[in-house]
């Protein structure tokens, strides 16, 4: 009946299907496919893999002994220590801040809520150098707040508290940004159910909220940590670059390079690259776990 | 435990969700809050639970003011519309939650908790699913787990927010019966929210009908159906057929339709409501009513045949619906476009100055059932 009767602008349905199957879609020709693959692979190799490889090649260009000597240099060790110290403080601060903020904007209705959600993104929108400069103007010895603190002999800029402050600023959206969409999707019914069953605030968080958001939280922490370790712009403005005192690893790389100690610079860079690779690995693992969780959530909705 | 709601009102921004209202729920009753969406029934339930705070008024449990008592200390069982099971916990862990978060002094020991969970699972007939996760359960099973979880605390008040709303018709019916039995067995005070009038009338001892943040009527299902207080209640409990018009010399008329109203004073803008089963269909008008109608649809499913009709020569805000028995249907065989006359037995008359209806009855003697029609079977039926 279809073959005879149904026509569409003079073509029977059979004609139409035959036409489309006879035609290959764009990209189905082997040469298109292979040239695209080649192009993508060569770009990835040139722009991503070669530089990464070069870092390690340069770092080890003077042999293993010189690499170890460079890495265990007094100033390098100090820079590693300061970087890890700042990251170790930044991560818990932003973890707590992010969870509180996400909880606030997803569980309560109040005027200005939408504005607050927008404001969370400010650190992403502002260039880190500008952020550093703002902190310098506010908290520097001539700054509006800084001059008052100076009267009490408290110096924030050009010392580790300043570095910590700008790092916290730059990385503060990561955790909240990861949590807000998830917590909005999950809703507050489970927490309400928990509270009618007599759970205290801490029990609610520990036993209901946290298990539901744990993978998003870990993902946020991984991103926060990566950015805290690698931050250059804002830190460089407020640190004062005092070798052995306020030099973080990214700043140290720059200093060594300017000193024509290329091998030393790359040795330090290889440490940063190593941290980055580790982060990527953790991130992919967490993404895989999250995808599984989302799948479970979707199945539940069906 | 009795529940008393005194003068409670609630506003969300510019929206007045609840006008100040009061309600008394006696101990051990199963009460349904019935109303269309946006009528404030869920808000009232959440205020009773303590999940929402009232702007004014008080809530009393068993005579004690609990307005300032936090949800966690009110000890009410609450069942959510979408179950709100803890998705990362198994069924057994879900049910045990309320017991495990109790303060150290009151908390039963692990063995006791295990036994209570086991008993509850038996009660909701889900013993074999103890180690499943919520995602692996069907809707009806989830709702039963949610009930067991709420009952684990042995609450004296059980609040249910549209408990059967998200379930399919058959499961809903089973669960309804099961809840009624459970209530009769355990004797807690329960309040449930629904927008399904059938569910409310079937399940409740008392029904609270709400609309636009106000309580319209509180009564037993029987009284509510027989003597609705207002247009809203009458209209909400099933379909109604309406004749709007003016009363002149004992006759309510509009267009070529009229009904007799003995000794009713002349009035403008009067409405008479008829329930589908309080109206008969005939091929001839009766001396008391002249309501010409045209058949527009016939639905055969159910205990009776539902005939949908259009006003013929007058106007009605909604099409009329009349229920006739299958025997009557077989005798008459109405088709689309057939003309007939409606003859009411009982009417609910609303004058514009009064909110309460006046019950009007017409004597049966003047009426003849649908008869003069197509076959000889009809006359047999008519005389029966």
| Residue-level pLDDT at B372 | 37
What average pLDDT does range A105-130 have in this prediction? 91
Q: Are residues A54 and A152 in the same domain?
A: no
Nearest-CA neighbor of B194 among B82, B42, B80?
B42
Task: Report chain A residues whose CB lies below 8 A from the CB of B75.
Answer: 198
Tell me what percent of the residues of chain A surpass a pLDDT of 70.
89
Query: How far apart (Å, rounded) are the C-alpha atoms in residues A164 and A83?
Result: 10
| Residue-level pLDDT at B350 | 83
**How distant is the alpha carbon of residue A124 from its chain centre?**
11
For A183, the 3-state DSSP assignment is: helix
| Residue-level pLDDT at A166 | 94
Residue A28 has pLDDT above 80, yes or no: no
Q: Residues A248, A235: contact at Cβ < 8 Å?
A: yes
Q: Are residues A188 and A73 in the same domain?
A: yes
Give me the number of domains chain A comprises: 2
Nearest-CA neighbor of A59 among A267, A272, A271?
A267
Which of A59, A92, A107 lies at the terminal end of a domain, its last residue? A59
Q: Are residues A183 and A150 in the same domain?
A: yes
Longest C-alpha distance within chain A, in Å?
95
Q: Tell me if A200 and B149 make a contact (CB, 8 A cut-off).
A: no
Q: Residues B78, B49: contact at Cβ < 8 Å?
A: yes
Q: Are residues A35 and A119 in the same domain?
A: no
Q: Are residues A105 and A241 in the same domain?
A: yes
Q: Residues B104, B63: contact at Cβ < 8 Å?
A: no
Q: Are residues A173 and A255 in the same domain?
A: yes
**Per residue of chain B (384 residues), what is the pLDDT tens digit?**
899 999 999 998 888 899 999 999 999 899 999 998 888 899 999 999 999 999 999 999 988 999 989 988 888 999 998 889 998 899 999 999 999 988 888 888 889 999 999 999 988 888 888 888 998 888 888 988 999 999 898 888 999 998 887 778 888 888 888 888 888 888 889 999 998 888 888 889 999 999 989 898 999 988 888 888 888 888 888 788 888 888 888 888 888 888 888 777 777 888 888 888 888 888 888 888 888 899 998 888 778 888 999 888 888 888 898 888 888 888 888 888 888 888 888 888 887 766 677 778 776 544 444 433 333 333 333 333
Q: What angle do CA A70, A71, A77 make, to 5 degrees?
A: 120
- The string of DSSP letters for B119-185 reads HHHHHTT-GGGTT--GGGS-HHHHHHHHHHHHHTT--SEEEEESTTTTS-HHHHHHHHHHHHHHHHH
Report pTM. Answer: 0.75
Query: Could you tell me if A210 lies within 8 Å of chain B, comparing CB atoms?
Result: no
Q: Are residues A200 and A282 in the same domain?
A: yes
Q: Tell me if A300 and B87 make a contact (CB, 8 A cut-off).
A: yes
Query: How far apart (Å, rounded) are the C-alpha atoms in residues A71 and A55?
Result: 14
Parent domain of A172: 63-301
Query: How far apart (Å, rounded) are the C-alpha atoms in residues A53 and A45?
Result: 10
Strand order in the sheet with B30-34: B76-79, B157-161, B189-194, B30-34, B206-211, B214-219
Q: From the candidates A187, A196, A211, A300, which should be mutated to test the interface with B, based on the most B CB atoms within 10 A? A: A196
A164-212 pLDDT per residue, tens: 999 999 999 999 999 999 999 988 899 999 999 989 889 999 999 999 9
Q: Are residues A10 and A129 in the same domain?
A: no
DSSP designation for A106: H
Query: Could you tell me if A84 lies within 8 Å of chain B, comparing CB atoms?
Result: no
Q: Are residues A214 and A202 in the same domain?
A: yes
A217-241 pLDDT per residue, tens: 988 999 999 999 999 999 999 988 8
Instruction: Grade residue A266 by pLDDT with cuts at 50, 70 and 90.
Output: very high
Query: Could you say which of A199, A212, A297 has the minimum Cβ distance to residue B101?
Result: A199
Q: Are residues A216 and A269 in the same domain?
A: yes
| Residue-level pLDDT at A128 | 92
Q: Which residues contact A258 (CB under 8 A, 6 or more apart)?
A: none
CA distance B181 to chain A (A): 23
Which residue in A has a C-alpha nearest to residue B155's C-alpha?
A197
Query: Could you tell me if A300 lies within 8 Å of chain B, comparing CB atoms?
Result: yes
DSSP H helices, chain B, are 41-49, 71-74, 91-100, 110-123, 139-151, 169-186, 197-203, 221-226, 231-236, 326-332, 376-383
| Residue-level pLDDT at A23 | 62
Query: Could you say which of A193, A198, A200 has the minimum Cβ distance to residue B84?
Result: A193
From residue B235, alpha-carbon distances to A23, A196, B209 in Å are: 62, 36, 11
CA distance B15 to chain A (A): 15
Q: Are residues A34 and A95 in the same domain?
A: no
Query: Could you tell me if B166 lies within 8 Å of chain A, comparing CB atoms?
Result: no
| Residue-level pLDDT at A170 | 94
> At A74, which CATH number?
1.10.3720.10
Q: Tell me if B78 and A193 make a contact (CB, 8 A cut-off).
A: yes
| Residue-level pLDDT at A22 | 53
C-beta neighbour count of B85 within 10 angstroms: 25
Nearest-CA neighbor of B157 among B287, B39, B26, B341?
B26
Q: Are residues A127 and A145 in the same domain?
A: yes
| Residue-level pLDDT at B58 | 92
For A257, the 3-state DSSP assignment is: helix
In terms of pLDDT, which residue wins out, A7 or A91? A91
ipTM of this complex: 0.76
């Amino acid at each position: 009946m279809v073959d005879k009767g149904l026509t569409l602008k003079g073509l029977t349905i059979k004609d139409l299907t035959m036409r489309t199957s006879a035609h290959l879609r764009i990209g189905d020709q082997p040469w298109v496919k292979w040239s695209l693959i080649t192009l993508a692979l060569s770009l990835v190799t040139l722009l991503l893999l070669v530089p990464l490889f070069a870092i390690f090649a340069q770092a080890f260009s003077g042999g293993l002994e010189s690499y170890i000597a460079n890495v265990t240099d007094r100033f390098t060790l100090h820079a590693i220590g300061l970087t890890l110290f700042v990251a170790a403080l930044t991560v818990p601060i932003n973890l707590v801040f992010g969870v509180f903020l996400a909880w606030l904007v997803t569980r309560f209705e109040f005027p200005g809520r939408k504005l607050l959600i927008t404001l969370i993104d400010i650190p992403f929108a502002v260039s880190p150098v500008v952020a550093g400069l703002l902190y310098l103007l506010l908290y520097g010895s001539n700054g509006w707040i800084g001059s008052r603190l100076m009267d009490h002999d408290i110096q924030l800029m050009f010392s580790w508290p300043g570095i910590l402050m700008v790092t916290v600023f730059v990385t503060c959206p990561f955790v909240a940004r990861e949590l807000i969409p998830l917590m909005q999707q999950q809703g507050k019914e489970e927490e309400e159910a928990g509270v009618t069953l007599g759970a205290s605030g801490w029990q609610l968080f520990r036993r209901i909220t946290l298990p539901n958001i744990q993978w998003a939280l870990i993902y946020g922490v991984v991103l926060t940590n990566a950015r805290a370790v690698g931050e250059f712009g804002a830190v460089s403005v407020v640190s004062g670059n005092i070798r052995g005192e306020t030099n973080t690893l990214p700043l140290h790389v720059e200093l060594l390079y300017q000193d024509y100690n290329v091998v030393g610079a790359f040795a330090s860079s290889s440490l940063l690259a190593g941290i980055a690779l580790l982060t990527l690995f953790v991130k992919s693992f967490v993404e895989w776990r999250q995808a599984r969780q989302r799948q479970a959530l979707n199945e539940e909705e069906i | 435990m009795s529940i008393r709601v005194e003068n409670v009102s609630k506003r969300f921004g510019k929206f007045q969700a609840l006008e100040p209202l009061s309600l008394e729920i006696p101990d051990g009753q199963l009460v349904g809050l019935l109303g269309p969406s946006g009528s404030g029934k869920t808000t009232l339930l959440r205020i009773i639970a303590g999940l929402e705070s009232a702007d004014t008024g008080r809530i009393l449990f068993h005579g004690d003011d609990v307005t300032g008592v936090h949800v966690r200390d009110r000890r009410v069982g609450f069942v959510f519309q979408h179950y709100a099971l803890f998705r990362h916990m198994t069924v057994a862990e879900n049910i045990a939650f309320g017991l495990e978060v109790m303060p150290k002094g009151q908390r039963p020991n692990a063995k006791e908790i295990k036994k209570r969970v086991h008993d509850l699972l038996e009660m909701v007939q889900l013993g074999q699913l103890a180690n499943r996760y919520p995602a692996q359960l069907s809707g009806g099973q989830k709702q039963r787990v949610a009930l067991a979880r709420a009952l684990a605390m042995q609450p004296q008040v059980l609040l249910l927010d549209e408990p059967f709303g998200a379930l399919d018709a058959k499961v809903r019916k089973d669960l309804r019966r099961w809840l009624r039995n459970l209530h009769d067995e355990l004797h807690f005070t329960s309040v449930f929210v629904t927008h399904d009038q059938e569910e409310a009338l079937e399940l409740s001892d008392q029904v609270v009908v709400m609309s636009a943040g106000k309580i319209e009527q509180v009564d037993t299902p029987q009284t509510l159906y027989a003597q609705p207080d207002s247009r809203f209640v009458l209209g909400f409990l099933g379909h109604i057929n309406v004749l709007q018009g003016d009363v002149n010399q004992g006759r309510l008329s509009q267009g070529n339709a009229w009904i007799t109203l003995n000794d009713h004073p002349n009035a403008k803008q009067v409405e008479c409501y008829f329930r589908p089963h309080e109206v008969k269909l005939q091929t001839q008008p009766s001396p008391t009513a002249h309501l010409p109608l045209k058949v527009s649809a016939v639905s055969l499913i159910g205990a009776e045949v539902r005939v949908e009709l259009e006003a013929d020569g007058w106007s009605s805000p909604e099409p009329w619906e009349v229920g006739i028995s299958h025997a009557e249907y077989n005798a008459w065989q109405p088709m689309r476009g057939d003309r007939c006359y409606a003859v009411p037995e009982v009417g609910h008359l609303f004058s514009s100055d009064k909110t309460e209806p006046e019950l009007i009855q017409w004597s049966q003697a003047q009426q003849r059932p649908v008869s003069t029609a197509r076959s000889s079977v009809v006359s047999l039926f008519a005389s029966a």
